[in-house]
Amino acid sequence: MAFDMTAEEIRRIEALARSKSPLIVCDVDEVVLEFVAPFIRFLESREHEFRSDSFHLTGNIYVKNTGHPVEKKNISRFLNDFFAEHDGWQTPVSEARASLQSLEAEHGAEVVFLTAMPPRHHARRRGLLDAHGLTQPMIATEDAKGQALAVLLQTHPDRPVAFLDDLPANHLSILEAAPATLALHMMAYEPLRRHLPPLPDGVKSVKDWPQARTEISTFLANTAGLR
Ligand SMILES: [Mg+2]
């Protein structure tokens, strides 16, 4: 499914896949770690500028001293360079750790980080999350997120699932794999929110972790009676 996981993570993910506890599947960039804000600072350090003009990176990045937009292929290069040193730039989203810990304690929920990044960056990201006390297992994959969730639901397809992500396409993939999922849209970088395309049916927007925690807590309390 994914490469470059630690042996400990492989063991924990196999255990997660056998468990019937409620599952919280949590994206990393823009949900657990700030992504857009530090990426903008990274671009600044390379004499480029980001303008929040649409819900894309392409077309929004400009060369500072000429004002020319950056071509798509060069944006991929910036992203690669950023991920190769992202642990020096990214910081946790406010209240992420405390919220996840309280959901684990209150509902016996199990958390897995599901990040859409090339698995070769796994160790660097793992170290960064650990350094901030975000020690839950992580799956780094470029496959559709629904595929990873299907593996986690193989043994107990009816276990409750809450999912958090900033990208509508990931919600569609998850809801296709598990339609009963509580799908919450969260995006830490506020200025891009107004450019968001309409969210897919069944996806609810939350503005921050305290609100997400309330939504997930209510959902898990309601499903507890059904388990
Ligand atoms: Mg994300």
Distance 218 CA to ligand 1 centre (A): 24
Residue 1 included in any domain: no
Distance 29 CA to ligand 1 centre (A): 4
CATH number for the domain spanning 199: value is 3.40.50.1000
Q: For residue 22, report the phi and psi dihedrals to the nearest 5 degrees.
A: -60, 145
Distance 28 CA to ligand 1 centre (A): 6
Distance 226 CA to ligand 1 centre (A): 31
- Return the bridge partners of 115, or none: 140
Asked if residue 184 and residue 113 are part of one domain, the reply reads yes
- Residues within 5 A (CB) of ion ligand 1: 27, 29-30, 166
Rounded to whole angstroms, what are the CA distances from 152 to 1, 19, 69, 122, 146? Answer: 11, 9, 42, 19, 10
Asked if residue 168 and residue 82 are part of one domain, the reply reads no
3-state helix, strand, coil in the chain (%, to 5): 45, 15, 40
Asked if residue 69 and residue 168 are part of one domain, the reply reads no
Residue 2 included in any domain: no
Distance 66 CA to ligand 1 centre (A): 30
Asked if residue 101 and residue 14 are part of one domain, the reply reads yes
Asked if residue 201 and residue 105 are part of one domain, the reply reads yes
Asked if residue 213 and residue 157 are part of one domain, the reply reads yes
Residue 77: domain span: 36-88
Among 24, 58, 88, give the residue marking a domain's end: 88
Asked if residue 51 and residue 115 are part of one domain, the reply reads no
CB 203 within 8 A of CB 176: no
Asked if residue 104 and residue 116 are part of one domain, the reply reads yes
To the question of pTM greater than 0.85 for the whole model, the response is yes
Distance 59 CA to ligand 1 centre (A): 19
Number of domains in the chain: 2
Q: How far apart are CA 64 and CA 36, in angstroms?
A: 18
pLDDT in tens, the chain (227 residues): 445 677 887 888 888 999 999 999 999 999 999 999 999 999 999 999 999 888 888 889 999 999 999 988 889 899 999 999 999 999 999 999 999 999 999 999 999 999 988 888 889 999 999 999 999 999 988 889 999 999 999 999 999 999 999 999 999 999 999 999 999 999 999 998 888 889 999 999 999 999 999 999 999 999 986 66
Asked if residue 41 and residue 28 are part of one domain, the reply reads no
Residue 155 included in any domain: yes
pLDDT at 227: 63
